[in-house]
Amino acid sequence: MDTAAAPAASSGVDFSTPLTILYHDADLVAVYKPAGWLVHRSAIARHEKRFVLQRLRDQIGQHVWPVHRLDQGTCGLLVFALNKESCQQLARAFAEQRVQKTYLALVRGWLPQQVEVDYALRPEDSAPDAPPQSAQTTLRCLATLDWPQSYDPRHPSTRASLVLAQPHTGRRHQIRRHLKHVAHPILGDATHGKGALNRWWAQRLGGQRLWLHAHALQLRHPRTGEALALTADWHALPQVPEVQQWQHMLQLPGWQTVAPWPGSCSVI
């Protein structure tokens, strides 16, 4: 098997370029969030200078309201409201779990074909005696990779899986924590993964990054009630370095398809 590495995953994002807008009307706007950006300013990250909210506000020349969050290391689809009424409607839809969210992740090992995770999570910034909150995620294995080099001397090769994750609740770091719970942490996850394994894969995939991509949202339009299917379609984002990294990684020899995956994230 050819083990040529992917392009460097820790570089390539030009933070001076405009954000890529995926959908825009009078009530909401969806953008592609690059990895490494915060959604908005935060007191716990005073040193950071890359914020989607402020950049988008300046880019489109109007105020925007965040209605959900993505971790700093996560790339992909992010939605903002463009007026207070839409903000209230969209925020309520996310809070009431009426938004279907789809993510892609590259994880350690071979995940079973489908796993339903029902594992309560205690808020990470809460007191030790805080009660855990219910959390459910559906995990589907889309493809498996058998890398011919060995990370663990007990095994002749090293395995990874491409996983489609659909969280049904909105707990912080839910997908990352649930994948850790089932012993398939996301590669590059410095908090919930294994540092030595992350570094081993980074050498082979071209650099360190969190391999988690917010790919699609299905929700109702906040004003009309029309069904909206918003997608960070890779075919429309060939210029995005992270999309190029995903594409290159999925073209490496050795992948075996387990289940069909969305055409919007197929290899170009």
Which residue pairs, CB below 8 angstroms and at least 24 apart, start in 51-58? 52/19, 52/78, 53/80, 55/18, 55/19, 56/19, 56/29, 56/31, 56/80
Which residue pairs, CB below 8 angstroms and at least 24 apart, start in 93-98? 93/219, 93/220, 93/222, 94/67, 94/68, 94/170, 95/170, 97/168, 97/169, 97/170, 98/219, 98/220
Q: For residue 66, give the amino acid letter.
A: P
Query: Active-site residue among 71, 125, 129, 146?
Result: 71
Is 71 among the residues known to form the active site? yes
Q: Which residues contact 172 (CB under 8 A, 6 or more apart)?
A: 121, 123, 124
> Six-digit token pair at 1?
């098997």
In contact, 166 and 101? CB cutoff 8 Å:
yes
In the block, residue with structure tokens 């999570």: 121
Residues marked active site are found at 71
